[in-house]
Structure 1
Amino acid sequence: MERLAFDNIFEAVTDDPIEAADLRFRSDLLTTLVAIFEDRKWKQSDIATALDIPQPRVSELMRGKIQLFSADKLIGYLAKLGVRLRPSFSAEHRVVCDVIEAA
C-alpha cells in the first residue's frame, strides 16, 4: 500500500496549491490569535468585547473553524488587539514573520 506524505496538511484537502497556502496562512493567523487569548487569560466574553463580535463568532474562532474566516478578517482581529505581522527576509534566504505588539 502506498503511503502519502504532505509538507502541508492542507495539500491533502485540496489539489489547488493556492487554496492550500491560503488555508495554511489562515490557520497560522487563527493559531496566533488563540495563543494571544490564552496568554492574556481571556474568556470568550473578553474576546467578544475586544473584537466587537458576538459570542457565537468567538466560539467559531476558538474551535478553529478557519473556513468561516478570511485572512483579511483575521488580520483585522489582530489589529484590533494592537498586533501586527512584520514579514522579512532572513540571511538564510527564508521568509520570516514576526508578531509585533504595539507599545
Structure 2
Amino acid sequence: MPMTKIEAFDSVWDAVADTSGQAASLRARAEPMRQIAAVIEGNDWTPSAAAMHCGVAQPRSDDLLRGRVSRFCLNALVNSATAMGRRVHMELQAA
C-alpha cells in the first residue's frame, strides 16, 4: 500500500485557502465574526433581534452565527459591529 504524504499547516485557514493572501483574508474576517457572534450570544438575542442589532437581514445574521466566513467581506463586518455600537480595531503584525 503506498504511503500518503500528510501535510501540516499553521492554521485551518492555510489549509483551506489556495494562497497565503486568501488565508490572511479568511483569518482577518473570522476574528470580528467570532466577536460579533459572542456579543449576540452574550445578550441572548433572538435571531431577529440579532439581525436588527447588526443592521442586516436575518439570513445574513444566521450566516454570521454559523461562521460562514466566505460570505462576508471586512466592510460588512465593520458595518455590523458599528451598528451594534462597537468599534473595530485592526493592526498589522510581522509575519
- Could you tell me the TM-score, scaled by structure 2's length? 0.81
Alignment of 1:62-101 (within 5 A): 62-87=65-90
- Number of residue pairs matched by the alignment: 91
Higher relative contact order (CA closer than 8 Å, sequence separation 6+)? 2
Is the contact between residue 30 and residue 74 of structure 1 (CA under 8 Å) also seen in structure 2?
A: yes
Identity of aligned residues (%): 29
Q: How many angstroms does 1:64 deviate by?
A: 1.1
- The root-mean-square deviation of aligned C-alpha atoms, in Å, is 2.0
Give ranges in structure 1 of 5+ residues lacking alignment. 96-103
**Structure in which a larger fraction of residues adopt helix:** 2
**Structure in which a larger fraction of residues adopt strand:** 1
Cα distance in 2, alignment partners of residues 12 and 27 from structure 1: 15
Give ranges in structure 2 of 5+ residues lacking alignment. none
- Could you tell me the TM-score, scaled by structure 1's length? 0.76
